[in-house]
């Protein structure tokens, strides 16, 4: 006699509901990353803060700030604008700032904020400062950013 084969139903696992939930979760996370990245990249304000390192040359010096734009420079914190044609003028605010920093060479130095369209102005300013043997640092900044100095940050807190 032949045995009857008993057919058993095998239970199959379907992963489609799980995969659809996983796909929705991944899509939501990607959207969240895009939104956060967009907000971070649209930051319209930058703060230039001088590093205070014990080993650095300018560790004991306080910074003074200059912003190079395509049409001239801005001196901070007074936000006084000096056009390109007045950079070499002996009575210009830039020359007055240079004289002040040169007189306090042991306690002050200059940080130059550099906009993308102001390379030529930066080269002129750097040549003037190097001729006067003043310590400088520079920081490239984006065209749409608003500059805040360390003093302005401290005053707003």
Residues 91-107: tens digit of each pLDDT: 989 999 999 999 988 88
| DSSP bridge pairs for 65 | 76, 111
Domain count within the chain: 2
CA distances from 63 to 21, 106, 137, 141 (A): 55, 11, 9, 17
Is 104 a member of any domain? yes
Domain range enclosing 117: 46-156
Is 19 a member of any domain? yes
Tell me, what's the pLDDT at 150?
A: 65
Whether 80 and 127 share a structural domain: yes
C-beta of residue 63 within 8 angstroms of C-beta of residue 154: no
Whether 91 and 55 share a structural domain: yes
Structure tokens at 26: 């991944």
Is 6 a member of any domain? no
Whether 72 and 17 share a structural domain: no
Phi, then psi, of 68 in degrees rounded to 5: -90, 125
Local structure of 148: helix, strand or coil: strand
Whether 25 and 60 share a structural domain: no
- The C-alpha torsion from 137 through 139 and 140 to 146, rounded to 10°, is -130
Tell me, what's the pLDDT at 73?
A: 92
Tell me, what's the pLDDT at 135?
A: 86
Q: What is the pLDDT of residues 114-137, one digit of tens each?
A: 888 989 999 999 998 889 888 888
Tell me, what's the pLDDT at 13?
A: 75
Query: Where residue 30 falls among pLDDT bands split at 50, 70, 90?
Result: very high
Phi, then psi, of 51 in degrees rounded to 5: -70, 140
Higher pLDDT: 45 or 28? It is: 28
Closest among 58, 152, 54, 60 to 110, alpha carbons compared? 58
Whether 56 and 74 share a structural domain: yes
Closest among 64, 151, 57 to 100, alpha carbons compared? 64
Is 4 a member of any domain? no
Whether 34 and 88 share a structural domain: no
Q: What is the pLDDT of residues 49-58, one digit of tens each?
A: 555 555 555 5
Tell me, what's the pLDDT at 27?
A: 95
**In terms of DSSP bridges, do strands 80-83 and 72-76 run parallel, antiparallel, or are they unpaired?**
antiparallel
């Amino acid at each position: 006699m032949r045995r009857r084969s008993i057919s058993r139903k095998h239970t199959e696992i379907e992963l489609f509901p799980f995969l659809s939930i996983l796909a929705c979760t991944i899509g939501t996370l990607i959207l969240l990353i895009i939104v956060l990245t967009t907000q971070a990249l649209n930051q319209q304000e930058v703060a230039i803060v001088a590093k205070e390192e014990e080993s650095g040359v300018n560790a004991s010096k306080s910074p003074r700030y200059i912003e190079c734009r395509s049409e001239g420079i801005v001196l901070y914190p007074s936000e006084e604008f000096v056009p390109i044609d007045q950079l070499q003028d002996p009575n210009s605010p830039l020359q007055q700032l240079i004289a002040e920093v040169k007189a306090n060479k042991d306690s002050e130095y200059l940080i130059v904020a550099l906009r993308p369209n102001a390379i030529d102005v930066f080269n002129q300013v750097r040549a003037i400062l190097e001729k006067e043997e003043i310590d400088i640092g520079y920081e490239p900044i984006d065209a749409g950013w608003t500059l805040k100095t360390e003093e302005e940050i401290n005053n707003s807190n």
